[in-house]
C-alpha cells in the first residue's frame, strides 16, 4: 500500500478538481475562467437531493431542484427579470463541486462551509454575467422559492407527512394553486433540461453566457 502523500508546506494538499471539460477548478480560489455550464449541469444532474433518500427509480437531482426553484420563483413573482430567474437556476451551482450537504450537516459544519460555497457562487455569477451580490429583494424571493421547493420535495419524494413537513418547512402560497408534481429524471435528461433553461434565460437576459 503506497504511503500517503506529504502535506507539508512545500507539498500542500490538492485543492482543485479536474472537470470533464478539462478545466481545473481551485476550490480555495476559484476562477470564473474555470467555470463551464456543461460541468455545472453534468455535476448537478448527478448530485442527489436529500442524500438520495427519495422515492422513484432515479434520485431527485440538484439540477431538477434548481429548475423547480426557478419555476416556483416565476409562479410567485411572474415579473421577475430574466437575470434573477437565472440567479435562481444557479443558486445551488457550487454543489457541482462540493455536493449537496443536508441542512442539519451544514449547521454542524458552520461558517467554513458557507465561505467556500460563497466563493464558488461568486465565481459562477461572474462567469455568467451576474453580479456577485444580487439585490436583496431578488435574493429573498429566491430563498422563498427554495423553501417552497423543499416543501414539495419533502412531501412528494422524501417521505414527510404533511403534519411533519409543517414542523420544518413553510407550506408555499402560490398564485392560482398550480399543479406541482415531481418526477425524478434520469441524469442525462436532467442535464439537458438544465442547459436548455440556462440557455433560454441567458438569452432573455441579454447575457453572453457561453
- Reduce the secondary structure of the chain to three states and give it as a string: CCCCCCCCCCCCCCCEEECCCCCEEECCCCCHHHCCHHHHHHHHCCCEHHHHCCCCCCCCEHHHHHHHHHHHHHHHCCCCCHHHHHHHHCCCCCHHHHCCCCHHHHHHHCHHHHHHHHHHHHHHHHHCCCCCCCCHHHHHHHHHHHHHHHHHHHHHCCCCCHHHHHHHCCCCCCCCCCCCCCCCCCHHHHHHHHHHHHHHHHHHHCCCCC
What is the band of 28 on the pLDDT scale with cuts at 50, 70, 90? confident
What is the band of 99 on the pLDDT scale with cuts at 50, 70, 90? confident
pLDDT of residue 105: 60
Domains detected in the chain: 34-205 (1.10.3210.10)
Average pLDDT over residues 127-133: 97
Amino acid at each position: 500500500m503506497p504511503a500517503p502523500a506529504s502535506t507539508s508546506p512545500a507539498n500542500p494538499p490538492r485543492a482543485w478538481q479536474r472537470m470533464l471539460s478539462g478545466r481545473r477548478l481551485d476550490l480555495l480560489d476559484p476562477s470564473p475562467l474555470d467555470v463551464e455550464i456543461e460541468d455545472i449541469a453534468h455535476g448537478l444532474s448527478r448530485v442527489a437531493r436529500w442524500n438520495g433518500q427519495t422515492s422513484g427509480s432515479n434520485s431527485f437531482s440538484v439540477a431538477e431542484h434548481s429548475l423547480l426553484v426557478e419555476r416556483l420563483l416565476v409562479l410567485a413573482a411572474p415579473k421577475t427579470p430574466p437575470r434573477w430567474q437565472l440567479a435562481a437556476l444557479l443558486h445551488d451551482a457550487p454543489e457541482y463541486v462540493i455536493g449537496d450537504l443536508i441542512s442539519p450537516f451544514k449547521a454542524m459544519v458552520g461558517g467554513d462551509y458557507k465561505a467556500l460555497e460563497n466563493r464558488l457562487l461568486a465565481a459562477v455569477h461572474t462567469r455568467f454575467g451576474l453580479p456577485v451580490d444580487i439585490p436583496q429583494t431578488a435574493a429573498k424571493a429566491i430563498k422563498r422559492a427554495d423553501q417552497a421547493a423543499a416543501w414539495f420535495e419533502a412531501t412528494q419524494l422524501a417521505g414527510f407527512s404533511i403534519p411533519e413537513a409543517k414542523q420544518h418547512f413553510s407550506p408555499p402560497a402560490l398564485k392560482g394553486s398550480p399543479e406541482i408534481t415531481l418526477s425524478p429524471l434520469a441524469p442525462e435528461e436532467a442535464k439537458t433540461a438544465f442547459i436548455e433553461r440556462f440557455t433560454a434565460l441567458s438569452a432573455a437576459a441579454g447575457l453572453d453566457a457561453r
